[in-house]
Chain A
Amino acid sequence: NAGVTQTPKFQVLKTGQSMTLQCAQDMNHNSMYWYRQDPGMGLRLIYYSASEGTTDKGEVPNGYNVSRLNKREFSLRLESAAPSQTSVYFCASSEDQLLAKNIQYFGAGTRLSVL
């Protein structure tokens, strides 16, 4: 049972380059999330998708776009990478964000460096 799978695990970009972080879950969850984690800052929500066909901004959406491709997949795109986007990115999923017991399941993360 894979759970939440993120690719790639590591990436180095030059300023201005673009890339897409991929995320897939096999738990038939409705809701999916993208977070970034920086030292001393904790997990900050970038975008989320409550259900297939919907996406909404989180706390730090600037410089990012997302696509909920289908129920399983939720991608995060950096159109023009900046050094401030150097971070560890986590994808998560949950059965449904409206449920009282909204347990989130996280992927292993993508470590991104922008030079």
Chain B
Amino acid sequence: EDQVTQSPEALRLQEGESSSLNCSYTVSGLRGLFWYRQDPGKGPEFLFTLYSAGEEKEKERLKATLTKKESFLHITAPKPEDSATYLCAVRSVGGSYIPTFGRGTSLIVHP
């Protein structure tokens, strides 16, 4: 059974204070790791997909990295508009190919 654990559950940062969110996973074989952003009262919105260890993707102040056991979402010089819940999901080679989601990290960036 695929397992995804995100940490921390909640993170408060000051504007400009860089940090990282963690997503640890256990799968029989990784077919893809996804990061989504969810704003309050809205559905998740796709950010990145990573497929193999060593891969990195960037978008504005966000950078996602992947190892064989975990992924990090690095946030550089965050702004208040980066406040959201960040969800990680993994897709394994077996079964239905549908991603398993972690519980998310709630990020609040104070001005």
Contact of A102 among B44, B87, B91 (CB under 8 A): B91
Minimum distance in angstroms from A64 CB to a CB of chain B: 16
**Known pairs A4-B43, A108-B43, A109-B43; A42 contacts B99 (CB<8 A):** no
Q: Is the CB of A103 within 8 A of B49?
A: yes
Residue of B nearest to A48 (CB): B98
> How large, as a class, is the contact surface on chain B?
20 to 34
Q: Which of B41-69 contact A (CB under 8 A)?
A: 41-46, 49, 51
* B103 lies within 8 A of A42 (CB): yes
The answer to whether A43 touches B32 (Cβ under 8 A) is: no
With contacts A42-B104, A43-B87 taken as known, whether A104 is within 8 angstroms of B45 at the C-beta atoms is no
Closest Cβ of chain B: how far from A4's Cβ, in Å? 7
- Give residues in B with beta carbon < 8 Å to A: 31-32, 34, 41-46, 49, 51, 87, 89, 91, 96-99, 101-104
For the complex with contacts A43-B44, A104-B34, A109-B41, 17 further pairs of A-B residues with Cβ separation under 8 Å are A40-B103, A42-B102, A43-B87, A43-B89, A44-B101, A45-B98, A48-B98, A90-B43, A90-B44, A92-B43, A100-B32, A102-B97, A103-B34, A105-B46, A106-B45, A109-B42, A109-B43
